[in-house]
């Protein structure tokens, strides 16, 4: 499975952000399962999920401090990369 994500280091914290469909973030159980799915790709990093609504407005799910921080970061400044889960 291929997905878009990024590893970001900001203010001494390194974390991963992964793009998912909005319905995943809207369902807490699915969001938690998704984070577990991405853990092997980003071992020992906190993972935050990001989805956009139909207007392109992002929503975040994950560690509250990171989600709050990312809400103020322009998406075009995130260095997205394609990853693969075997």
Query: What are the Cα distances from residue 55, in Å, to 9, 16, 30, 52?
Result: 28, 24, 23, 7
Residue segments in the chain with a per-residue pLDDT below the cut of 50: none
Contact 58, 52 (CB under 8 A): yes
pLDDT at 50: 98
* Residue ranges of domains in the chain, CATH in brackets: 2-84 (3.40.1350)
Of the candidates 53, 48, 64, the one whose C-alpha atom is nearest the C-alpha of residue 21 is 53
C-alpha Rg value of the chain to the nearest Å = 12
pLDDT for 67 = 94
Please tell me the predicted confidence (pLDDT) of residue 11. 86
Distance separating alpha carbons of residues 62 and 70, to the nearest angstrom: 11
């Amino acid at each position: 499975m291929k997905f878009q994500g990024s590893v970001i280091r900001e203010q001494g914290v390194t974390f991963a952000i992964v793009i998912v469909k909005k319905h995943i973030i809207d369902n807490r159980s699915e969001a938690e399962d998704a984070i577990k799915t991405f853990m092997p790709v980003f071992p020992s990093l906190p993972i935050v999920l990001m989805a956009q609504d139909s207007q392109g407005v992002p929503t975040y799910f994950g560690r509250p401090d990171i989600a709050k921080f990312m809400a103020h970061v322009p998406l075009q400044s995130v260095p997205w990369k394609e990853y693969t889960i075997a």
